[in-house]
Structure 1
């Protein structure tokens, strides 16, 4: 009788957990194992130590160099930038578009240009410095007219306001906003804004596609698809094409970042419009009122404006030069703008869109309440020989 051979026991294979390339090479693998560090890990540690040492030395050299040349340290510059951006962000809810007021903006201590902001070498770290006087009466209105944002209607309305109170009125258009807010005493400063992309397209339809002078004065001129300028050429006008920094900005023919250039007063940039954006926002926040084109159809908004000035007649139809002729031309030859062209224009206007939203993004929901103060005739000082300058 033969004995049965016992069945062999199953062999259990203990698999070793595979290590990823990340855990084999990165220094923090030392914290997850008791094994001696590999040569690769040691090399990683040495490399990181060298890089960290170089960074520290470079920062030290730069700070010493800055202090020797009458500047400020990198830490101070970064702190100033953070403080300024916090101040800019906090201005949203006190924007003159959202909360217009009757305070007189006092002039800045020094006139600031975009190149002065965060200038390390000359110590001109100028931040937002809003100062107001609540006692001075107004004897003048200054209106900077943004093109294709309801400005013609606003001009007509402000003439009524100035006539009602017998005060001066100054209207500026096309060139940059030359008058520094607060530089003229007893003045209420107002301007208007519209979504930058929508405004740019409207501007193109008004005078970019065909020459307004041809439409109005040349009876033999017939607008056609063949003599029309293409939209893609429009977006490569002012704001896109680089211009000399010493050349004053002009709103005529501007398609890209027109708001920033208008209120910063410069048609060039060295840091993607960031300094110009901060300067433009600084100046806009000193205005008393910003008209928002998108709100004009709201009866509550129109009533709030009339209550603010104490004069009726806001948002009444008004004629503009070339308006009817341009409208008829587009009826005959409709404009078709491709989606890719609109997206390109939107991308080019990113900084202007940021400025527009910062200044006007304060209403939400279906029912909007406008916290505009009521008019008070005592706020105005009538002028015997009042003037209207356009």
Structure 2
């Protein structure tokens, strides 16, 4: 508009000059200074004000930031979040993107559990001829962790404030362990909590992060009392017991998750373990005392090392469950009980024959007797081969 108006003004000025030349005296040789001013306008003409790029933040909460500006504007954003000593952190900067035809630009980003408080954002957008910046704050609410609805991030990233040396020979075990944990942890958590616990593996906005490390060390649940930040570090090879199986690393994950809530009080030590063993009805073998004793009792069955994977009654209370059913019978224990029942029945039959014929088994039933003894011994072998203890 300013350019078009200047053209009409110029034509009008020429017309006036022609009229003056025809009706009045000739102009002098000196011409007035009509050079442009610093802002490009001519003297006496006011330059238009530069219009800021319109931008408004339409939504700002932890994990989501949305703004509106002119379509096509290029925008980027950054965050100011106070993170804890342990655990994950959200990104400091958000990737640049262009506003859509409606002018909106939206970022969703990972929002792991961090200390509650006030956080901030900065949004910068640039158009063809202008740019604008908006800053503001949003609130990160208190985020309690509950066993009935737990989200977990499992990663091979380096945990904060932890010193270790990666062992390349343990990388395959680390990778297979993390794959197993991701695939089975939800099911194992539900079974460990008697069907009352829910767990979801979430890589973006988790309650707690499990760092799986290809090194030798002592696995640990870490908590900072000052900011209540928490995480878990799992070493795939124990500093004392050596390499663990993939399945045992899943059990370790269950144990360390239990430390979010357990164990405190007169029966626990300062490392969060029970100092007294208390059997729970319905739990057998390595599970009978639960997951959180010190030391955790594992039993070797040949090449299989079996470790606890069920929470005891007092641990269920510590996890926040006030009413809970008896534990479901482990399939291996159920099989052991079935074999034991067969052995008792068959053993009674063999014993009755031996009691009836203390001086020797008659030939008429000897073959049947030997068959029963062979069947009994085969059942004993099957029971002893089970990777569980029904005691």
The answer, yes or no, to whether TM exceeds 0.5 is no
Q: Which has the higher strand share?
A: 2
Shorter-chain TM band:
under 0.3
Question: Rg larger in 1 or in 2?
Answer: 2
TM-score normalized with structure 2 length: 0.23
Higher-helix-fraction structure: 1
TM-score by length of 1: 0.23
